[in-house]
């Protein structure tokens, strides 16, 4: 009897040690990680998540997603992804969230179903990555690619891109498109004029 008790105690200690290691690993992750059950309740949250949301752990753990994010965001953005994940699908998504007033953050999120006991997903692991800076950089590159840096006017690549789209649309719908061409012959003088105007405006 004592041998069985000793073995059971060792098994319990090993299990607790493994759980401790898993907890250490999850909390060491730089990306926000959460575990959500079928009642849309947070069961596990790591340090990165609470720091990213500027919340205390007790404000998230054992609270519903609607409690943490608000009913509107839950119903309009998050619930549908969770439901698809509980149906057995891995879901990836990029959405915009307003963490602070007038401060939009873009978050790339992956929802992965967990099957701890049977064919039905009991939990969803949610891993998030804030890509706001990446989105801003992409927008800046887009502006540089399609707009003149001096005049801020649309440039030739943007014109060609839009023209190609219109041509494809016209072909699909068997219609014609109007075209207007303006030949700018003295670009050097125009550039000098624009530079002068920019200098005057900066005074």
Q: Which fold has domain 31-131?
A: Beta-Lactamase (3.30.450)
Rg (CA), the chain: 27
Beta bridge partners of 129: 108
d(CA 25, CA 137): 31
The residue count for the chain? 203
Q: Where are the beta strands (DSSP E) in the chain?
A: 33-37, 42-45, 91-100, 103-114, 123-130
Averaged pLDDT for residues 151-180: 79
Mean model confidence pLDDT for the chain: 81
Report pLDDT for 188.
56
DSSP 59: G
**Which whole number is the average pLDDT over 27-44?**
91
Ordered by start, the domain boundaries in the chain are: 31-131, 147-181
Confidence label for 195 from pLDDT (cuts 50, 70 and 90): low
More confident residue, 198 or 133: 133
* Whether residue 94 has pLDDT greater than 60: yes
Residue 180: predicted pLDDT: 65
């Amino acid at each position: 009897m004592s041998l069985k008790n000793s073995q059971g105690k060792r098994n319990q200690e090993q299990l607790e040690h493994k759980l401790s290691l898993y907890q250490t690993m999850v909390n060491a992750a730089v990306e926000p990680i959460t575990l959500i059950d079928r009642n849309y309740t947070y069961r596990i949250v790591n340090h990165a998540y609470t720091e990213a949301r500027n919340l205390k752990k007790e404000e998230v753990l054992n609270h519903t997603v609607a409690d943490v994010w608000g009913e509107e965001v839950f119903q309009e953005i998050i619930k549908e992804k969770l439901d698809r994940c509980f149906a057995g699908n891995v879901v990836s998504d990029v959405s915009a969230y307003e963490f602070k007033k007038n401060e939009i953050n873009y978050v790339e999120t992956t929802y992965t179903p967990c099957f701890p006991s049977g064919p039905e997903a009991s939990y969803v692991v949610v891993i998030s990555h804030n890509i706001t800076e990446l989105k801003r950089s992409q927008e800046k590159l887009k502006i540089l690619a399609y707009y003149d840096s001096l005049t801020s006017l649309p440039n030739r690549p943007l014109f060609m891109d839009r023209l190609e789209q219109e041509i494809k649309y016209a072909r699909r719908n068997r219609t014609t498109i109007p075209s207007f061409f303006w030949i700018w012959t003295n670009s050097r003088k125009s550039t000098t004029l624009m530079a002068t105007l920019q200098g005057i405006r900066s005074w």
